[in-house]
Each structure stands twice: as C-alpha cells, then as structure tokens.
Amino acid sequence: MTTFKNPHIKYPVPPFPKQKQEVPGTDHALSPKADHGEKSYVGSEKLKGAKAIITGSDSGIGRAIAIAFAREGADVIVSYGYDSEADDAKETAKWVEQAGQKAILSQGDVKDHEYCKKLVQLAVKEFGQLDILVNNAAFQMGHKTLKEIPVEEWDTTFNTNIRSMFYLCKAAQPIMKPGSSIINTASVNSYHPNAVLLAYAASKGAIQNFTANLAQMLLEQDTGIRVNAVAPGPVWTPLIPSTMPEPENFGKESPMKRPAQPVEIAPAYVFLASEQSSYIAGATIAITGGKVAI
C-alpha cells in the first residue's frame, strides 16, 4: 500500500548547516546529503535498451537522471567537466552499473565544440546508437550588482549553458533515429529570474526558446526526434554552496519552503524520454515546488 507523505516535510527543510565550497562543488561535501534516488527510485523498463548521454551527470540532477535511466534499462555516458568532479562521476557510474547497465565516463568541456562532437562519437563507438541526449551541464555565479559580473564569467555562463546545447544537438541529430529524445534543463529562472543570477537566468531563458524552436524545426523536417525541457525550481546540489549566498536558507522562499532533492526532478526526464510522452514536443515541465511558471 502506498503511503503518501506531506511534500513540505518529505525532505530536509532549511536552515541547513552553514557551508561554503569551491566552484563547482562536490556531492561528498554537501550537508545535508542530496537524495538522487539511490535507495528509492524503482524502474519499470520504460527505457529498456536505450542509450543516453547526460552532461553534468557527476552529481545533482544529472546523477539522479543517470540512476533513474539505468533503472529503467538505459546505458549511460556520464559526462562531467572538472577534475574535482571525478570522484562524484565515478559514484554515478557505480550506481548505473549496479542497476545492471553500462556506464561510460567522459570528462571534457562542453564549451568546446570538438569535445561535444567527440562525446557523440563516443556514444556511437560504445553503444552503436544514441536515443536520448540530456543537456544538463550548467554554470552559475551569484552577484548583487552588474558591476560585479566579469565579462569572462558572463561568456562562460552562456557558453556552458546554451552554446553547448547547440554543439551537442548539431552533432547528435544526424545519428538519432525517429523516436529519440533531446531533453534540455531549463529553470524556474526562465520565468522568474533571480536578481542575483543575471547571466544564469538569461541563459536559461535562451534555453527555453531554443527548446521550443528546435522542436518545431525537427518536427517540420519529419525527423521523429522530440525536443523538450524540464524547468526545475530550487534544487539541493553542490552548485548551491559553491555559488549562492546563504546556502543555509536555500529554498526557504519556495511555496513548499524547501528546495527539491534531485530525485524529485529525475522522473520528468524519464517521462519525456519514454514512449509515454510520444505526443509531447516543444514543451517544458516545470518542477518548481509550487512557483507558478507561465
């Protein structure tokens, strides 16, 4: 019998312990620990036989997606960017393999066009196909004034968050067969930009438009490839103590008065990648803890 829980208190509620990490942060230093579905996600073969690339899958939402995909029957390329994320990426791969699926680790910079092409080529080499591309890697930094934002950091944000999606989609589309899915990670900031996240929020707005436009383009070409997005609200990941002020209060302003855990976001990606969403394209699923996203 299913036991339903009060969503306000299902997971840790701020205030959290005071903490600060260096960018991009690591999962093992996070307090409280994030829940990626390690003990709770149960699959039902929704993605049996599928092959996926997930960028930014060393920790946070990306790790939760990787665990969920694996337990649904998919093999996964775990893509990550920083040397400091290597141990977290290996942890993700471990969970994929424990689900009985193949995990391929790939470190590289998604801002680099050549790496993006090589990542897609890796899927062809290791899997012989690519059915699901999840563009999840992201960069953010918080600043209270325009003056504080370095030009280089602005470029890094856009190159990581949106330019990489163009690179990866361009490389992947020719080898993706009808029925395949591209899923992009947008944000509640696409609708309600946070004042301290100017560059990040602007890039997420671009992702929203990119998703809708690319979906229409591929539909008009009869490729059979669906493009959709997920727009999470506040989520407890290593990015928070490494980039946000007062991480101990993160998510407190959400209508649910807490941040989401990554495990609460991953099922939307499973749904959009599966046959259950075959009539959905150009859409965004908002998982915002009650924050209206229209």
- State yes or no: is 200 an active-site residue: yes
Q: What total number of domains does the chain contain?
A: 1
Note the residue count of the chain: 294
CA distances from 106 to 89, 94, 218 (A): 9, 14, 28
Q: Give the residue numbers spanning the domain of 121.
A: 43-287
Q: Give the tens place of pLDDT for each residue, 141-192.
A: 999 999 999 999 999 999 999 999 999 999 999 999 999 999 999 999 999 9
Cβ count near 174 (within 10 Å)? 8
Instruction: Identify whether 237 is part of a domain.
Output: yes
**DSSP helix, strand, coil percent of the chain (3-state; round to 5):** 40, 15, 45
Helices (H) and strands (E) in the chain, counts: 8, 7
Q: Are 241 and 19 in contact (CB under 8 A)?
A: yes
Q: Is the pLDDT of residue 2 over 90?
A: no
Instruction: Identify whether 156 is part of a domain.
Output: yes
Can you give the pLDDT at residue 245?
87
Can you give the pLDDT at residue 259?
98
Sheet holding 103-107, edge to edge: 103-107, 75-80, 51-55, 132-135, 181-185, 226-232, 284-287
Instruction: Identify whether 4 is part of a domain.
Output: no
Beta strand 51-55 with 132-135 is parallel
Can you give the pLDDT at residue 3?
85
Instruction: Identify whether 96 is part of a domain.
Output: yes
Q: Are 218 and 225 in contact (CB under 8 A)?
A: yes
Q: Are 140 and 187 in contact (CB under 8 A)?
A: no
Instruction: Identify whether 86 is part of a domain.
Output: yes
Q: Which of 82, 200, 269, 279 is catalytic?
A: 200
CATH of the domain at 277: 3.40.50.720
Instruction: Identify whether 240 is part of a domain.
Output: yes
Q: Which two tokens mark 8?
A: 């306000």
Mean residue pLDDT across the chain: 97
Instruction: Identify whether 51 is part of a domain.
Output: yes
Question: Which pLDDT band, with edges at 50, 70 and 90, does 293 fall under?
Answer: confident
> What is the pTM (predicted TM-score) of this model?
0.97
- Residue 137: alpha-carbon gap to chain centroid: 6
Q: Is the pLDDT of residue 134 over 80?
A: yes
Q: Give the tens place of pLDDT for each residue, 7-16.
A: 999 999 999 9
Average pLDDT over residues 49-75: 98
Instruction: Identify whether 18 is part of a domain.
Output: no
Q: Give the tens place of pLDDT for each residue, 211-229.
A: 999 999 999 999 999 999 9
